[in-house]
Amino acid sequence: MFRAVATRRLQGAATLLRFQSTLVIAEHANDTIAPITLHTITAASRLGGEVSCLIAGTKCDKNLLPRVAAKLDVAPISDIIAIKSPDTFVRTIYAGNALCTVKCDEKVKVFSVRGTAFEAAATSGGGASSEKAPSASPVGTSEWLDQKLTKSDRPELTGAKVVVSGGRGLKSGENFKLLYDLADQLHAAVGASRAAVDAGFVPNDMQVGQTGKIVAPELYIAVGISGAIQHLAGMKDSKTIVAINKDPEAPIFQVADYGIVADLFKVVPEMTELLKKK
């Protein structure tokens, strides 16, 4: 299925030169566009008349980026955070500790966008015509099995204003219920560190960090997370960071605005109960 979808996307990219325009590959749930795509659209609006293909910096699109670039025979640029001109971009390197300015002279530019670096585009007030793209011919190497939709009342992780994340300090996947209860009171999304994901506590799509999702919410609560550099790279742009850890020397406290040195199994339930009373 992925190859067929990718083929249709590549057909769209191949028409860029004809229209001298920008193609944004949008992630959606059939009826709603993913929040990170709205940030990508903002980046697209700053490109002027250049021929470009923009991809949001999500797990799926990170897999798509090199394939699109290879089909177009161009060099891709990943995870840009600023656009200086239609051919000059800024991206992070060394886990976000340094900035690199890149100039691209390709006729068609293909790059992914870090959603947290751009404001979300408005979802109303504009209009555009639509054209149905022809379906790609079956490639004969894949078979449709089934489709499972997961629905949640919690906001999507990369677009949430409040994020509660857990680490290996939670000790098990069952203990993540403490975070789910707290998140429900804060109308927050729930994330996790790579250590928690690697331990099998939660699925991979909850991972926040350099190799996971990049978030920049108004409030980020890190529970039982030590603060490895890979995790900090994915959440350090949060407006306010609260850390809960029993180890006073945990690196997470170096970036936190507020720190609580205590047992998370006592503090988190107390916070949840206090919020329920309000």
| Per-residue model confidence as pLDDT tens digits over 170-184 | 999 999 999 999 999
Q: Is 32's pLDDT higher than 60?
A: yes
Candidate from 47-56, 166-175, 181-190, 222-231 with smallest mean pLDDT:
47-56
Tell me if 221 is assigned to a ligand binding site. no
Residue in the block written with tokens 């429900």: 184
Going by C-beta distance under 8 Å and a sequence separation of 6 or more, which residues neighbour residue 277? none
* Average pLDDT, integer, range 101-124: 83
Q: Give the span between the Cα atoms of 157 and 138, in whole angstroms.
A: 34
Could you read off the pLDDT of 113-131 as tens digits, one per residue?
Answer: 887 788 877 777 666 667 7
At 20 the three-state DSSP class reads coil
User: Per-residue pLDDT for 228 more than 50?
Assistant: yes
**187 assigned binding-site residue:** no
Tell me the percentage of the chain whose pLDDT exceeds 90.
42
pLDDT of residue 248: 95
**pLDDT score for 68:** 84
User: Is a pLDDT exceeding 80 seen at residue 77?
Assistant: yes
Does 2 have pLDDT greater than 60? no
Indicate the angle between helix axes 59-72 and 2-14, nearest 10 degrees.
50
Does 96 appear as a known binding residue? no
Predicted local distance difference test score (pLDDT) of residue 20: 58
Q: Is 165 annotated as a binding residue?
A: no
Average pLDDT over residues 18-32: 68
Which residue segments constitute the domains of the chain, with CATH numbers given?
A: 2-117 (3.40.50.620), 157-277 (3.40.50.1220)
- Asked if residue 224 belongs to a known ligand binding site, the reply is yes
Task: Flag whether 228 is marked binding.
Answer: yes
Q: In this structure, are residues 223 and 170 in contact, taking their beta carbons and an 8 Å threshold?
A: yes
